[in-house]
Every structure is written in structure tokens, then in C-alpha cells.
Structure 1
């Protein structure tokens, strides 16, 4: 057993003390089961989540009165009566809030040492190995070395904890399960503990309110769950505490292995979560028996192999650092003092990939506002799917950082939203297709929520989400996916847009009513308002969807009549407006900003993550966007974690590496907890994912029909390499650079598409696997599975 060496793995977080609060605990997960591990010496706490534990149940949240007021709202907006229109939207056209993601409970593991009482340990190290996805604690008491390690297997769907002791002292562990949900606890045959519980049927989001609002439970409704903790066969003496039937004790062992499983009654977003405890028990029996049959070593080996198959696709080195030997919290503190640490920045990138793997796997729910880690019954903003930026940002690194499988849960959610959203489109707006607004939950709520229209009323959430389908296709160009999954969903969103657009007297088609997510303007009378006509984001999103629809229909040779309608509407969309100050306007009409430093930069969507505003096709809009971005920042913008992450990606696309790097540093130094979780504040995981995407975007871009190598390399990373980034078109890219310049690259073709490469104005030499020099003056053909070397001419 490794006794006391420091954790020297480059992809590890490590600390010299246990976590003192939830934001210092270390996250583990397999996309479905999540745990936050605290690492206490005497009593370990593992806070537990399961991704389908939400409040509520399927119910009709549509507002059947909304359509009656749509015409009047549009009339008011045409007369520039913005405040009256906003009041009518809020009072008549919105609905109820989404439900909340819920905690399962806690696993407590009390360790008793020889001599009794609480003990102080020497040589304590708590770590999270990202490469193996294993959390561990090790320390010494007297002459005995203790080690525990914990992981959540995606292969076998079980959380596993193993305790080991080496020396004279043995192991005595008391295990117990608790939950903030109404629950029943019990033990079975002295070898397992069971916790049965039920989620609330409603949790009102009142995060910023003065008083807690009701958490409602109904005895016969809501998701039920069962958690089961078992001891593997072959361990030492096991007993149930005679005085506490909910505590299981394992005594006088040199090694103890516990496995944990959880099952719920959730079936599907539109199915009532009906089921029996017996059914859940049978599922847990099956999962735990299969894991136990493998034995610990095989079980652990399977977990590591499956994890590394994905995690090791990408390797990143950004330079050496003097602080690399420091514990992570001390390293972060030094970074906040402006001590240079490119290794910490590379670790942050890989941590983002780890978090996506841990919170979003095929067959699971998508990563929500907190991934899958939440300890509150009433979490901030319900810990839901906020689809006016946050949910999308969670998946910005999915393709580029070579984790396409992790994208699948979001794509599945979009497909489900297209079902629930079709009723909302018809009932709320009398429109074809489907619609989704700014908040979504497990039950795929597609309606506007209650609250201020600046955030509650935004019918373009679904349109933004469809861009993820298109992006997935671009990175993995398979016509079957486009035909069978992406195109039908995109088509429904396009049909909604065609009905949502209204023709105005000047010959344009506009969105009305329109908001720019969470922002407000000032009316001529100086009143703050959010509802107007045709926000820049609305028009940019619709334009890109229409363009993607035309490309897809051409590839699939389908929908000629619909393509004619889309092409006609596309030609009537209003151009984005540049104001008198030279900045890109957030709304079609010139309206004064109510908060010049607002955290959202929705009008700049076309720069990133969109592509409509770029140096090749729209240089004037790009310059206007740069001015708008500079103004937003100078007035305090980018002050939340996720907003700061957006700035990194925007400056990467603008080709301004030093500005982008400035916000990488800001994100880590100002908006990062000791466990490297993003601090909004409070914790939201989107900043982690946005930061990961931004680091990759500085090194590789492929949004303009060519693959740009090192398009925005900052001075802070003069020498380094990256392996395995993905590019649109179906390519994997390796890059080596020194002294701020490209040395060479390797391109692996995954789909046999034509390839275009660029590195600034420098000429490149591309050779096939056989050594033949290829003509790069035009797109060169590739063969799926083959690699191509790239050097400077």
C-alpha cells in the first residue's frame, strides 16, 4: 500500500486536510450517481445524488389563456408601448416554475481507532485522481497506515468504498445512511443497509427570497427511491448495532469494501413515476450481486479501463510550473496572488472534461446547473436546466474536447422537449413545430415560468438547443444521425420560427414579443423594461437555424417546399444593427441599456458559440461586436463565473489571445472554489465547462469551414502540446508548439471528409501516411482511419 508519498499525478487534485464545507469536497460520479467526498479522518461523509431524483411529476403546465393576449401584446409593441406590453406578458402569458433537482442523502462512515475517541492523523493526503476517477484518503496514526479509496463505476453502476489498514491497528467501521427526504431505514441480514424515500411533489424556487417557500410532499405521488449499501462477501465480522438498527458495523478487519446502489421509480418525462419498493429492491439486488460477483480488483479494473478509454483521448501540456508540487488549494491561492501556473490551467481544462464525464453519460440525464451534485432540497435556481445560456455552456466542450458520447443526454433531452414543446407551441402561440423557454426540468417543462419576463419569457430556448444537434453532426458527419434524429427536431423548431415571425410594414419579419435573455433597456420615459421587438439574439439564432436547415435538407435531398419557405423568410430577416456609438445593438431599435455591464452578452451569440459574425463574412459586425464587448466589460460585465467563461471563448474567436487569457486567469483567481468548482456565486458548474471550452478554443478552431491551428495562442503558453482535440468535419488533431510557434501537427481523419488547414498566413506541408505531399491549395481528400502529418513550409 502506498503509505505517504505526495500525489504526483499531473491530473490530480490533492489536499493536506479534509474538506471543511461542501465546496471543498471532491466530486465523483458516473453520470447517474454522484457523490461529494469530504475525507474526514474519524467520520467520512459522502453526500449522494441520483440524476432522476427531482421534485414533481408529469403535469400540464401550459397556460391556456396565453394565446388570447398575443395579438394585443404585439399591437402595444408596434406602438412602442413597451412597459404595457411587458406587464401583459407577465400577468397573462406565463406559467409556473420548474421543479427542483433533489439530494438523495448521505453515507456516513465512522472509523474507530485503537485507543478510542477521535484521533489526529499524520501524513494526511486527500486526493482525486482524474486519470483513474478515484478519490482517495491516506494517513498514519501511530505505526498504522490507513487508506480509503472511492469511485463510481459507469460500467457496473455502483459506488464503491474500500478501507485498508497496514500495521498493528485494525479497521472498525460503522456505516449509516441518512436523507433529508421522508424515508424509512432498515438492515437486511446484517450485510446491508437500505434507505427508502420519496421526493417532494413540488419545491418552490425562492433562492433570493426572504422566507423559505413550501416544500410539498404527497404520500402517493412523486419519485420514490431506494439506496442500498452492502458489504462484499469475504470480509471480516459484520453486525447490526443492537441499539441502532440503521447502523451496520464491520469490526477487526484489515480490509473493508462497501458497495452502494440506488434505484428510482422514474420511467420517462411524460410517465407517472409509479413503482413499488419491491421493484426497486429487485433492481438493487441485481446490480449489487453482479458487482460483488466480479470481486473488488476486477470491479476496479473495469472502472479504470472504461474511464481512461475516454479521458485519455486528450492530453494537454501548457508548460512547466514551480507550484506543481503544492496542494491544490495552496496552488490556487498562489495563482490568486498572480503566480504563474500553466499547469494549473491545464489541470482546470482536464477537470472540466472529468466533470462532464462524471455528470453526463449515455442513458443518463444531462448535466444540470450543478452537474449532478446538490445537497439542498431548495437548490439555487432549482438546479435545473437554464436554457438561455447555462445548459448550452455545459456542453460547449463536449465535441471539441473529444467527449461526444457525453453530449448524448442533452441531445436526448432536446428530442423529448420537442414532444412536450409541440403542445406549448400550439396552446400558447397557435404555432406549428415546438418551442421551449428558459427553464427545463426532468419533466421537460417547455412553458415560460412565472417571474419577470426579462428571464421568464424567452421562446427561443429550443432554437438555441437545436444548434447542439447540428454541432454534433458537424463533428461526427454521419448522415444517419442527421436524417433520423437531428433533422426532424430542427425541422420542428424551424416550423415554430416561421409561425412566430411576423411581417412588419418595412418588409422585415420580426420576433414579437422579444426579449434578450435577462437584460433590460430604458424606455424613452426612463423606465426599465425587457420586452421589445427582435432582439439581436433572436434574429441570429433563427438565421443560423434556417441556414442549417437549408444545408441539411440539401444533404438529405428532402423538404423542397419547406426549404423554399425558409429561404424566403431568411431573406426577410432584419440585419443586425450597429448603433451610433459603433456598438452592436442588443435590440432592433436603438434602446438605451439599463445595465451597461450586464452579465449576459446575448447579442454577441453570433461570435460565439454561433458563427454568423466573423472576420471573413461580416467584418463590420465583428468590429461592432468587439466594441460592445469592451463596453460591457468596462462597465463590470463578466462578473459571474459562467459569464467570465463566455468572455474567454468570445476573445478566442476574436483572435485576441491576451484578452482571452486575462479572463482565464480571472475565472480561476476570482470565481473558483478550493475544489476547483466554479463559483457563480454560488456554485454552478457551467463556468467549469465554459472555461474548458475556452482553453481548447484558443488552440483549435474549425467553425469557418477550415481547421485553424493555434488561432489564439497566448504568450503565457509559449511551449506545449495537445493531443486529441476534435475538429468539425470529423478530425482529431495533435499540436506541438515552441517559442509561441507551431512545430508540427497530426491530423487523424475519422470520417474520410475533405480537409482544409490553416496556421495564420504561414504555408503548410501536409503528408499522407505513405509520405506523399498533398496539395493544400484546395480541400484535400482524406481516408477514414488514416493520419496526416503537418509541418511548416
Structure 2
């Protein structure tokens, strides 16, 4: 399953189809008389970079004292004095419109997105003439390409023009038009109401904000081209190809953007000069080759094609729901498509909406939300063999370690680095919520740095790249230093955090009051245990032993232990408070089960199960994705199948009151509104259901639902530096193919005898020893295991 298809144009934004090359994004609507491509560019953010000095050491002392006194209301109030400015916002560039003169009465309309080629297509007929539009965004050539063609000669009569919600101007330039604009210097979050000046602009070529230009060139077969009044007019052509190049003045996270439009024009002219030398077919061929080098690495087959007959994609979901295995396969592939399209080497990482946003004040500023959502975007990167797409996040982490170090020294007077709830392109590391506007349950959460560091360690685990690990070590070290100095000793000699919140969830105190700020939230301690454990293992790999390593080893042993509460649940806070929302979407205190590895068996794993049962199956899109991953770790495929019922339903495009997760007509994950983490977490969960490697050995089909009675997946990656493919029938493993990237051993958990087949070797049978088979493998060696 690789095709999204519809028999009508997209009207709402969540019906349009996404295209992207990591840097440039477009939403293709597919209108007949008027076509629209809504445009984005990854570096269009409000603001210039700003530095402010804060000293919160006195407030920190007061908050800790109030928490120790049990005065949680006063502690929350004092925490607000440690808030900082909100993050800046991700901006939409604008739209390019293509207006035809043939009217809107068409037949045989078809609109599709082929995620195997990353090309969108619209076709329809007006009378006896068939019109086709094809579009893609090339990573090799950094350009949006749109081909308009007609089955009869001289039938392309159209005008092309821009508009934008930003401060812009349009210029004619020979047979091209250019949209030039600036981003706001400030943009308040959409949830901040009553702001007198929610958006503040400077002046062209004077403002400190990002400048940008989109430049459109055209090539035709037959006909003529004219530019006037900011429009390109094409008359009597048989075919026309539009090329859109975009340049911005962004100079880096800690540099002021440039102010010279002529520089941007020259960059775009060079891009257009290069692509105008090539045919559409040449550009398309190079685009597909580049894209498929990533996309074709993995292939999932679940063996059910029911529902493919003539139904629009959203109609198919409404008709078959969670019973459609083909749609489950398509959504898995769609997550990989979206990651490739929004996060490529050399680009910014995928934000809350990937790279696609049509609003100036987008939900949550379309920023990087670090208490789950940004990290969740990259859960599928390593396992689905897209490590290159992980690189933009590594760059963000490195840059945050710089701004985060300055922040913790200024605010808290300690060493190391961290970040809080939100960041943006300027790598803001401070708390948000200023002036005393936010709620500490989301505005004050200083453990983003340690969580982000898990991604550095995971990349090493999957790649076994020691050069990468050596380069990452100073970042890990800085995060460790922060945690060592942030931790305090409680009355029993354990190390805990204070102040501490469990992201976005409040508790009830003994006297029935609602609290948000306390000490020793379970998630804090799990993340720090995770960081310390990964750091110690990294030091072992790199053969480092020093005083800091010794401190970390001692501190890890002194962390307050996990606790099981009165309901048999994993306790969320240091004390067994009652939940204010028993069915809250966040399951932050289950971090240790996924994505962490602190909880893998025993009573605490049972407590994770009880916690999930108490939370329930209803949740927003990303919350469902996290729960799927957790139930996979609990090896309960049938429960995940129940969660699919919540996910595989169509969310009304204009209904923001819809309860629970689901999918928009274009398969974007619904919070609601749209958040891309729901797509990415689903893709990660599918792999977690089929193979797990976090315990140091391979577990095959650990959470296979009975509906997936037969299937295969190929090209996925596991920890230790291996690429594997798995096939099963009647829910029984049939074949495992392993390719080793290094000289390493691998253990397979099984009670079956395996027949081993390797190149140039005789087949041999291997019996399990105490439930495991151990294989020694050489670099690039491939072994086939038949069960």
C-alpha cells in the first residue's frame, strides 16, 4: 500500500496532500479551475535570536522550601517567577495559485499521492480534453516542480500568482515572478489571548527577522509566456512546467538573519538556471532515485488488500476502520514518507507539524515541544532504517547544548546544560510562560536535555558508530553535569528532583487541593536513570574511567527507587497522590518502559500494565501512539488492535471538539488539531510489535495481534548494528534474515531449532540453549534462519 487517492479536490487544509524535501514543504489541494499549493520553508520562523539574563536562584530556593512544607499552591505560584518568554513561531510562506480558464465543470476527476515516488497527481477531463498535473519537491535540486499537461494541443491557458499571510511584495522579472517577504519579529502563541500586539513586524531590509524569496520560473511546449502585475500568464501551451525555488536569510541559530533580497534572488536564479536545463522527466527520475534510496529500504506486507476498490482513502477508513490491514500498512508507510519529506540531512528537524503549516499563529506555534512530541517524531528513524533523517535532530541537540549551558548558568548558577518545555529555530532553552501567564505543569519542565540525549545514544546502539559516540560524548557529559547538580538529597538520603512536575498532569493533595509542582516526579527520576545508565555504557565503550564516571555511578544508585501505588499502578509522583484526571492523555511516568529500558520485567512491568488500564484507551493521536508502543513492550498485540479502533477513524476537518485521536482525510494524525507525532509514533509502534531488541537480544513477533496472521517486514534495523527481515505465517515465525554491519554476536530468544543458511556455508541446525540461540557474525555477513 503506497497510494492515497480521492475523487474530489481537497477543500480543507487537512484534505490537501503533503509534499516535501526536508527544507521545502507544500500542500497540494488539487482544485480544477483554481489549483493551490500552500508553501512552507523550514527556516521561516518569527523573531531574531535574543539573549536575556535571568537569575532564579532565590526563587528556586523558595520553591524547594515551599514544597518541603507541603505548600503546593504557593510553590506553583513562586515557580511562575522562573518563567521566560514563549518560543517563537513557525511561519507559512504563502500560496502559489494556478488559475485555468476552462471552468470547474469536470469529469473523471482523480487526485492521488504516490508515497513510493513522492509525486502527487491530479487528472480530470473537460469535454474530450484530459488535463494532468504532477508535482514533487526535489531534494537533489531543491525545487518544487509542477507539470501541467493536456491531451490536446494548445489547451493550457492559465495564470499563476502568489499570495501570503506574511508581509510581502511581488515582483515581475522577465518570465519569472518573485514573492519577497519578511517574518514577524514576534508572534504570540495562539493560546495567549487578549494580546494587544500578538504579531509585530519590522520593515523590509531593516528588520532583524528572517527575509525570504520564492521565485517561480516556467518552461512550456508551445504557446507563449507573459508576466504582468505579479502574474505569469501562459497561453495556448500543450504543456507547462513550473519551477519554484525558495531562499531565506536565516544564518544560524545564534546569528542575526541577513537583510539583502538581492542575495536571495541570486541564490534562486542559480537554482532555476540549473533546473531549466533539464527536462521534467530528468528531474523526476533523479527525484525518485534519491527518494527511493531511503523509502525502499523497508517493506511491510500484511497480506490483506480488502478495501482497495474505488474508495477514496478517507471513505475506506470510514468503511473498514481498524479491520483493514492494507490501510494499516499504508499508514505505516505514510509515517516513513512524512519523515523523509520533513527531515533530511542538512535541514531543520521535523517540528510539531513536520514541515507543513498554513497559519501565522499555528497551534502551539508549530514549535518543538520537548516533553514528548519532538522526541516522538524520531522514534521510527533508527528502526525503519532512516538514520540519515535523524541527523537534523542531532544538530538541534548540539545547538541546544550551547544555549542550554548559558541558560542554566544564568538561571540556576549550576554547570552543564538542559532545555525546558519548548524550543524553536533559535534554540531557546529557557522555561516559557512569561509573564506569569503559563501553568507550571507545562511551562516549567527542565528535563528536556536528558531526554534528547537518549537519541544520541540510540543512534550509537543501532549504528555502532564509535566516531559518532566520541563526538556526542561532550553533549552527554554536559547533560550529566546538569543532572548531578540539579538533584538534591531527600530526608531518607535518596537523590530526587525539586521542583518537579509530571508533564501536563496535576495531582490532588490529601486535603483535596490541586497541585502541579512537587518533588521527585517519577518521570524525572526515570529520565535521569536512563541518562546515567547510557552515559556509563558509553564511557565503557570508549574506555573512559574518571572521577565524573564514578560520581555518575554512585548517583545512579542513590536515585529514589520506583514505587507501586495503592491501585497497583506505577506511582507518578514521590507520594501516592490521586490523579486529577485518571484518563489523562500523558503517561509520562511510563517513560521507563518506553522509550526507556529501566522497566523490562517483574512487578514494575505489571504496574505499567495497571497504569495503562486505569488511563484507558481513549487518547489524542500521539497519546494513542505512545500507548501502542507501551502495549508492544507489554507484548499485548490484542490490546493494540483495540487501540487501532480509536486511531482508524476519520476526524471531521472543521470539528476541533472531536474527542480522542483519529486521522484526517489526508491521513494526518489528529490531536486534534493536526500533530505529526501521531503518524510517527504509529510507525514506530508497528515495528515494536514485530521485533524488539532493547533487552540485549532479539524477540520475534512479541506483540503480534491475531489479525496479523501472516506477513513479513524487511530492512528494519535493531540495536547492535544489524539489519533484519522477518516473515511469519499462522502467527508463527518462518524466516529471519540477519545482516551484520559490524563484527558482533547476536542472541535470538526462541525455543525452536533453527536451520542456518549462509553464503558459501553448508546449512546447519542449531538448538537453543536455555531459550536462546547465540550467533557470532562478521561485518557484512548475512545469515538466513529458517524455523
The TM-score, its normalising length taken from structure 1, stands at 0.94
- The superposition leaves residues 628-673 of structure 1 with CA deviations (integer Å, 9 ceiling, x where unpaired) of 110011xxx6421110111111100000000012112321225100
In 2, Cα distance between the equivalents of 1:460 and 1:607?
17
CA apart distance, 1:240: 1.9
SS of residue paired to 2:669: coil
The equivalent residue for 2:501 is 515
The equivalent residue for 2:219 is 232
Matched, 1:391 2:385: no
SS of residue paired to 2:410: helix
Matched, 1:328 2:333: no
Question: Which of 355, 365, 370 pairs up with 1:382?
Answer: 365
CA apart distance, 1:762: 3.4
Gaps of 5+ in 1: 1-9
In 1, Cα distance between the equivalents of 2:688 and 2:573?
28
The equivalent residue for 2:40 is 49
- The superposition leaves residues 254-280 of structure 1 with CA deviations (integer Å, 9 ceiling, x where unpaired) of 110010010000011000012310110
The equivalent residue for 1:791 is 786
Matched, 1:680 2:671: yes
Residues 431 and 445, structure 2, Cα contact 8 Å, conserved in 1: yes
Structure 1 residues 395, 638: CA separation in 2 closer, same or farther (over 3 Å shift)?
farther
The equivalent residue for 2:130 is 145
SS of residue paired to 1:299: helix
The equivalent residue for 1:110 is 99
Residues 153 and 238, structure 2, Cα contact 8 Å, conserved in 1: no
Matched, 1:747 2:738: yes
In 1, Cα distance between the equivalents of 2:748 and 2:538?
24
SS of residue paired to 1:348: helix
Question: Which of 701, 707, 711 pairs up with 2:702?
Answer: 711
Question: Which of 174, 177, 184 pairs up with 2:159?
Answer: 174
Displaced runs of 4+ in structure 1, greater than 6 A?
A: none
Query: Following superposition of structure 1 onto structure 2, how do residues 172-211 of structure 1 map, counting pairs within 5 Å?
Result: 172-189=157-174, 191-207=175-191, 209=193
Matched, 1:268 2:252: yes
CA apart distance, 1:294: 2.5
CA apart distance, 1:319: 1.9
SS of residue paired to 1:762: coil
Question: Which of 35, 39, 47 pairs up with 2:26?
Answer: 35
CA apart distance, 1:354: 0.1
The equivalent residue for 2:652 is none
CA apart distance, 1:526: 1.4
SS of residue paired to 1:725: strand
Question: Which of 562, 567, 574 pairs up with 1:588?
Answer: 574
In 2, Cα distance between the equivalents of 1:237 and 1:27?
31
SS of residue paired to 2:663: coil
SS of residue paired to 1:516: coil
Question: Which of 751, 757, 780 pairs up with 1:767?
Answer: 757
Structure 1 residues 44, 585: CA separation in 2 closer, same or farther (over 3 Å shift)?
same
CA apart distance, 1:772: 4.8
Question: Which of 97, 104, 111 pairs up with 1:126?
Answer: 111
The equivalent residue for 2:636 is 656
Deviation larger for 742-751 or 19-28: 742-751
Deviation larger for 449-458 or 779-788: 779-788
Residues 30 and 154, structure 1, Cα contact 8 Å, conserved in 2: yes
Residues 130 and 150, structure 2, Cα contact 8 Å, conserved in 1: yes
- The superposition leaves residues 63-99 of structure 1 with CA deviations (integer Å, 9 ceiling, x where unpaired) of x231221112111112222211111001x11111000
In 2, Cα distance between the equivalents of 1:397 and 1:664?
18
Query: Following superposition of structure 1 onto structure 2, how do residues 345-424 of structure 1 map, counting pairs within 5 Å?
Result: 345-424=328-407
In 1, Cα distance between the equivalents of 2:500 and 2:552?
20
The TM-score, its normalising length taken from structure 2, stands at 0.95
Query: Following superposition of structure 1 onto structure 2, how do residues 294-693 of structure 1 map, counting pairs within 5 Å?
Result: 294-325=278-309, 326-336=311-321, 340-450=323-433, 451-484=438-471, 486-615=472-601, 619-633=602-616, 638-669=618-649, 670-693=661-684
CA apart distance, 1:537: 0.5
Structure 1 residues 695, 161: CA separation in 2 closer, same or farther (over 3 Å shift)?
same
CA apart distance, 1:707: 1.5
CA apart distance, 1:321: 3.0
In 1, Cα distance between the equivalents of 2:618 and 2:200?
37
Gaps of 5+ in 2: 650-660
CA apart distance, 1:436: 0.4
In 1, Cα distance between the equivalents of 2:744 and 2:312?
45
Number of matched pairs: 763
Question: Which of 774, 780, 786 pairs up with 1:779?
Answer: 774
CA apart distance, 1:433: 0.7
- The superposition leaves residues 483-504 of structure 1 with CA deviations (integer Å, 9 ceiling, x where unpaired) of 01x2111111000000000112
Structure 1 residues 18, 211: CA separation in 2 closer, same or farther (over 3 Å shift)?
farther
Question: Which of 251, 255, 264 pairs up with 2:235?
Answer: 251
Question: Which of 274, 282, 288 pairs up with 2:266?
Answer: 282
Structure 1 residues 128, 685: CA separation in 2 closer, same or farther (over 3 Å shift)?
same
